[in-house]
Amino acid sequence: MIFDLDGTLTQSEEGIFNCVRYAADKLGFACPDAETLHKFVGPRLMYSFQEYMGMDEPTAQRAVETYRERYTVVGLFENRVYPGIRRLLRTLKREGWYVGIATGKPQGPAERIIEHFGLSRYFDKIVGPTGSIGAEKDWLIRSALPEDYDVAWMIGDRKFDVEGGKAVGIRTIGVGYGYGDEAELRGAGCDVYAPTVQDVIDTLCPGTEPPEGAFLSIEGLDGSGKTTQINLITDEMDRYGFEVVHSREPGGCRVSEAIRQVLLDVNNVGMDGVTEAMLYAAARAQHVREVIRPTVAAGKVLLCDRFVDSSVAYQGGGRQLGVQRILDINAPAVDGTLPMATIYLDIDHKTSLKRRSAASELDRIEMEADSFHARTEAAYRELIARDPRRFIVVDATQTPGEIGRQVAERVLARLMEAEA
């Protein structure tokens, strides 16, 4: 399997567009419009600057050099792995396929991009223009192929990829989620047109089960900033090609959401602590079976706002029912399903509740006395001491951006470690 890079594996227009604008400005050309910028994704830069901006050859060469001033430092990382690509690459490797890249991007930057996104392990060879290898697509594809093969595919998003594959004599897939369109790809003669990454998977590995995804949870006292961090870490995981599904507890599915309404209703202030613990466990049992397990089995990342640790902290600690007792109550509900990693936003209970009360009306749990929240905080710390490997503890008194960077770095490392 030989893949193109831009528009096939990664959504690279952000960096490309910014660098084209940079080169145009430095050389005194008007900033290209959106339609022109989109044409730069895929073809060689020399071709694009001449064809789409009317430059002569010497000027185009200067434009390429200026473009690369910015691209090699910043632009190459202004990039996103397409959703589903990690799952596709993991599936191909598991099935024993040789996988390479043939890209018009210079080989050095191409290798840096693949390494940056933690994808190097999936590729046997990466080929781009160098001093010894030209930039013609058929030449790049030949160089990326192994010496011996029975069946080979070229997968790309532009006519140049299809034409290069046909010139080499291998089958071609034109992908519709990149920068070319169906008419362009079919006009070039692609053997298969694949509108989505899933269509590529179904073509190359029909009937195979996806590799397992991951289950992550995020915990913290009310007001610790979970919602903000969920949004930030989701964007980073998406940039790296992880397919993220959000859920929450209590809730996450119809039955569990109905239980949530009972649990948080301020009119239910007389609810017994044991009743509360049992209701949380019941909601969790449904959520695990209906949402969490199927999502992970589909190869995606389930990011859950609270899980069993919240019950242990709030009911075991806050309600004084005991950590072990709540773990025992929840054992049949989770039935061995636990997060691969749990992000804990560490902040003292007084500060967190002050933040929370300033944001909106408190629910039944949040209305509890200070001593309740102090016990909840202590129970969380006991859980972290019991299982320090699972917990990613981050100081939640920092700015949201600082917290987000630390969370992203550690979560991405865990996810990539699990893929190895």
DSSP 89-105: HHHHHHTT---EEE-SS
Confirm if 168 and 141 have CB atoms less than 8 A apart.
yes
Report the SS3 class of residue 210: coil
CA pair distance 180, 176, nearest whole angstrom: 7
Q: Which fold has domain 214-419?
A: Rossmann fold (3.40.50)
CATH 3.40.50.1580 fits 1-210, yes or no: no
The single-letter DSSP state of residue 3 is E
Rg over alpha carbons for the chain, rounded to the nearest Å, is 26
Report the SS3 class of residue 246: strand
Report the SS3 class of residue 393: strand
Q: Which residues of 62-75 are buried (b: 16+ CB within 10 A; e: fewer)?
A: ebbebbbebbeeeb
The single-letter DSSP state of residue 316 is I
Confirm if 60 and 35 have CB atoms less than 8 A apart.
no
Report the SS3 class of residue 84: coil
State the distance between the two ends of the chain, measured CA to CA, in whole angstroms. 20
Mean pLDDT, contiguous 10-residue spans, the chain (420 residues): 96 94 97 92 88 97 96 94 97 96 92 97 96 82 95 96 98 96 97 98 94 97 91 97 98 97 90 94 98 98 98 94 95 98 94 69 68 93 96 96 97 94
Q: Which of 8, 390, 416, 417 is nearest to 196 (CA)?
A: 8
pLDDT tens digits for range 292-347: 999 999 999 999 999 999 999 999 999 999 999 999 999 999 999 999 999 999 99
For residue 359, the model assigns a pLDDT of 55
Q: Which of 44, 84, 89, 87 is nearest to 67 (CA)?
A: 44
Domain pair 1-210 / 214-419, same fold: yes
Q: Tokens representing 211?
A: 């590799």
For the chain, domain boundaries: 1-210, 214-419
For residue 133, the model assigns a pLDDT of 66
